[in-house]
Structures are given as structure tokens and as C-alpha cells.
Amino acid sequence: MKNLQTTYMGLQLKNPIIASSSGLTSNIESIKKLADEGVGAIVLKSLFEEQINYESGRLEAFGVEHPDAISYIRAYSTSNSLEGNLNLIKSAKQETNIPIIASVSCISDNEWVEFAKNIEAAGADALELNLFFLPVDKDKPSSEYEATYFEVIDDLKKKIKIPIAVKIGFYFTNPLRMVKELYNHKANAAVLFNRFYESDIDIENMMLKSAEVFSRPSDIRLSLRWISLISAQMPEMELSASIGAHDGAAVVKLLLAGAQTVQLCSTLYKNGVGQVGKILEFVSDWMKRHGYKSIERFRGEMNYKNIADPDIYERSQFMKYYSNRENL
């Protein structure tokens, strides 16, 4: 197999494949299976800010009032205690020989930040912040929402020394500027993109329900464009692709666009953890066919800066396909 080694946030990885935060990374048995299949690193199942605040006795202070939300948090806290998460970090470090990245899903720069010290002390190699602040106030400028991201990073940087990756969504007017600011605030990497919980409506029972939770292979288009643009303009910022990678070809595309690592989730649920080995084999074979001895030889080769017609990445309308079609 070709040399697939890479680095991510200063961590040495045997390959760029990372098991993304999910139920598959919530227990030591599954984590060991993923490690045995060959992933380069693992992001543990996220702790939620609400859970941390509840267990710290601050649920009411946090402002969670909906009874369903409170019931969910209590049930989650009972079966997934903070102590259990710290023990999982310790066990994962003992039972595997790959980097273990803790994850926290947060919606504020509240008191939960103090808990990051415990995560670091438990042995986590890095921390991934799953950040999203839903803009629900029509009178609040977008800059104020964005500022909260930077406040969280600044606060964390004062408390922990392990590297920090920030997982963001694509609902920014200028993602390039946002990633630049993350870098300016000393984030070590940006993860593109977060797949948020989406709601749907059951029109027969008149109820809200969850929409499809798994990504589709076509979702790669979103991360492909922005990783290409950002890696070309900000080569100093490491990027991890985290949406739409379902097979080896997708992983190669994201690396060509400039990703440092590629995170897998939906494909592992749909195809099993054995998919990791198939993807690694595909990448290795592709490198052999194209004469690449290492990933660094081709990373970013097809990003915005390096292709002959970068306007392709800028095009936002279907002019080529639909402009002359009258009968759709």
C-alpha cells in the first residue's frame, strides 16, 4: 500500500481517514473495530453543552424550559455521564494507537468551557468543537452571532493546550472570511461542514419529525467547492472534509481539493466499518496508477489556485444546462 501518512493539527496520522463523531464512536468496542479497520484517527461521540450544564446543576440557568428537552437531557445524562465520556477517552487511548479527538457540541461560551480541562487531562489528543448558533433574532446582526465562535475559541485557548478544530456549517455569507477569522483566533483546523439536525413535517399526522439523518454522496459538492477555495487562499489553515464522503473516489476528490483529512460517518452506517479498508485500498491504488508516492504530492492539486479555469468553482448558476431549455 502506498504511503498514506499525513498530519492533522500537529498529530501524526497513518492515513487521512477519520471516523467522525457519531454513535459508532461512543463505545470502546466500536472504537477498537474502527481502529482495526485502519482509520487514521477517531472523533468521539459529542458531549452536548446542555448535558454538561445539566450535570453541573445549571439546567434552569441555561434556559432550557421545554419539558421534552429536559427529559431528553436527563435521559442522555443518565446513560452517558460526563465521567463515562472521560473514561471512554482514557480507554480509547489505552486500547488503540491512533489519535483520539474529543468532541463537544456547544451553542454558547457558557460555563461548560471549564470542562475542557477534564477532557485534556483524560488524554484526548485534540478537541473538535461542533459549533452552531441558530440566528433566530431578526434584530441581531450576523457579526454578533459570529463573534460568539471567536469568544469560545479564545476562552478555550486560555484553558487547554491541546489543538482545537472547529466544525462549522455552511450558512455563512462568506465562509472564507469566517475560516480566516477562526485561524486568526488560533483555531488549529476547520471542519467543513457540520450536518445539522433538520426538521420535516408529517402532513398526515400534522407533526414535526426529523428529516433524513444520513448524508448522500452528492453532498460532497458543497465541501468540495469550499475546501478548494479556502485551501487555495489560506494554505496555512488545515481543513477536514466532513460531508458526503461515501467511497474512495470521494476521498481522492477532497484531497485533490485541498483537504488535510476526510471524515466518514454515513457510509460507515450504510456499508459497515469494513468500508474503511475498501476506501484506503482505492486511494492507494489510485495513487499507484497516477504515480504519486505520497498524499502530499497531490493534495490541493485541483484547488481553486491550481486549475486552469478557476471560474468553474465560482459559478453558482446552471447557465450551461438550463439557459436554453424551455420545456423543463
Splitting the chain (328 residues) into consecutive groups of 10 residues, what average pLDDT does each group show?
90 98 96 98 88 57 50 51 90 98 81 87 96 82 89 94 95 92 98 80 85 80 93 97 95 98 96 97 97 96 86 61 53
> φ, ψ for residue 151 (rounded to 5)?
-65, -40
Q: What domains, with CATH codes, occur in the chain?
A: 6-45+80-322 (3.20.20.70)
Question: Residue 170, Cβ neighbours under 10 Å: how many?
Answer: 16
pLDDT of 128: 97
Q: Is 323 exposed, middle or buried (0-12, 13-18, 19+ CB in 10 A)?
A: exposed
Query: DSSP character for 200?
Result: E
pLDDT of 202: 85
DSSP H/E element including 249: helix 248-257
Please state the pTM of the whole predicted model: 0.85
The sign one gets for the Cα dihedral 124, 254, 12, 237 is negative
Strands 238-241 and 261-264: parallel
Task: Give pLDDT tens digits for 71-122.
Answer: 555 555 544 568 899 999 999 999 999 999 999 987 666 667 888 999 999 9
pLDDT of 78: 43
pLDDT of 212: 72
pLDDT of 79: 45
DSSP H/E element including 263: strand 261-264
